[in-house]
Structure 1
């Protein structure tokens, strides 16, 4: 079987998984990388889309919805009489050069960015971080300079997104190899209970294919942005069951 046939049959056939215990370790490692590649496609897609949309939204907001301003000598200056609140479904931008809005007024927000009179505030997941303009010594920031930075970042997305995707893939591959290694340790117990003569290296190969079903299932759920309750436990339960059924397909060791 080629590697794609193995991926398909590993979704439902413990018997076919059992046959992989004699194959070369290089092919098994290649399979793990392929399985990981498939599993990160939804994540990379959503992250890329979020970055692109975020850049576009930021450029539009600064250009069309904020007045001309400058940050100089530790203070935000703009021609406005009252604070500006720009609210999206999951994010809020506050612009206030009047001094009316203070840090304490922002404590109820979950995700927000605020340019205040003497500081800018970033709120992520309800955690609030404050940065004083006074730290920007000898630096003047204007609306035009921020737009230039946004457009520069937009121009670099062709590099940023692939690097980010590669980082996600490498990290996910490491996690997958650790998961398989731990599952193979469970396999030592399974092979003793079922009286099968399997060295650890073969159990590792079997474990690599046994994680296929839960991995593809959670990849599909991620693609549809569907949250699975107790996903961590379900993942391990299905993996262990698949490994158990696979080990059962292997002939028992002869009794003396």
Structure 2
């Protein structure tokens, strides 16, 4: 299965997300790292566009501005690597927490599934939230509202996907 198809299905077909619980974990991790790379490149682009010695407004501190100009060649790669590492940690922590919540929801819904299946489903359910949070600086909405909306959107997509998980057998 191609990553582009996974991306499109994550955006348009939330019911298919339950079927993707059976994908190999390597494919899911690849998809996760592609999302992380997109977010990192986007954030790094915003960083480089926003980092200008002219915007620092340090006319009286010429030594500092010259120093910053001199170390930019080190600053950019280090910043990109740090952005990638922190984005990776943050995204994997979010997936783990949403998957834990999904496990609780799955038990309430009396459906069968394991944490590893819900983790995979959660990865795809978070696609919209990741895109919205990435573009949040360009929206005229408070970041708290966007975070809450992303949370509800992810949980809603996760619940829709969990409805397609098999039901637990009835015990007598």
Question: What TM-score range do you get, normalising by the shorter chain?
Answer: 0.7 to 0.9
Q: Kindly indicate whether the alpha-carbon contact (under 8 Å) linking 2:113 and 2:165 is maintained by their aligned counterparts in 1.
A: no
Distance verdict in 2 for CA 1:166–1:225, change over 3 Å:
farther
Distance verdict in 2 for CA 1:226–1:48, change over 3 Å:
farther
Residue 36 of structure 2 aligns with which residue? Answer: 36
Deviation of 1:246 (Å): 0.2
CA separation in 1, counterparts of 2:14 and 2:58?
A: 54
Deviation of 1:177 (Å): 0.6
Counterpart mapping for 1:92-107 below 5 A: none
- What do the CA deviations read for 1:44-83 (whole angstroms, capped 9, x no partner)? 22211222x2x2456x964xxx5xxxxxxxxxxxxxxxxx
Counterpart mapping for 1:214-253 below 5 A: 214-222=129-137, 224=138, 226-228=140-142, 229-253=144-168
Residue 46 of structure 1 aligns with which residue? Answer: 46
CA separation in 1, counterparts of 2:136 and 2:81?
A: 22
Deviation of 1:180 (Å): 0.7
CA separation in 1, counterparts of 2:129 and 2:58?
A: 42
Distance verdict in 2 for CA 1:56–1:211, change over 3 Å:
same
Residue 211 of structure 1 aligns with which residue? Answer: 126
Deviation of 1:159 (Å): 2.8
Higher relative contact order (CA 8 A, sep 6+): 2
CA separation in 2, counterparts of 1:232 and 1:9?
A: 23
Distance verdict in 2 for CA 1:57–1:176, change over 3 Å:
closer
Residue 130 of structure 1 aligns with which residue? Answer: none
Deviation of 1:252 (Å): 1.8
Residue 9 of structure 1 aligns with which residue? Answer: 9
Distance verdict in 2 for CA 1:57–1:188, change over 3 Å:
closer
User: SS at the partner of 1:195?
Assistant: coil
CA separation in 1, counterparts of 2:170 and 2:123?
A: 29
Residue 107 of structure 2 aligns with which residue? Answer: 192
In our comparison, the structure showing a higher alpha carbon Rg is 1
Deviation of 1:227 (Å): 3.5
Deviation of 1:152 (Å): 4.6
- What do the CA deviations read for 1:96-148 (whole angstroms, capped 9, x no partner)? xxxxxxxxxxxxxxxxxxx7xxxxxxxxxxxxxxxxxxxxxxxxxxx6xx2xx
Matched length: 170
| Residue 181, structure 1, aligned to residue 91, structure 2 | no
More strand by share: 1
Structure 2: stretches of 5+ with no match in the other structure: none
| Residue 202, structure 1, aligned to residue 113, structure 2 | no
Deviation of 1:199 (Å): 0.8
TM-score normalized by structure 2? 0.85
TM-score normalized by structure 1? 0.59
CA separation in 2, counterparts of 1:165 and 1:225?
A: 24
CA separation in 1, counterparts of 2:126 and 2:159?
A: 12
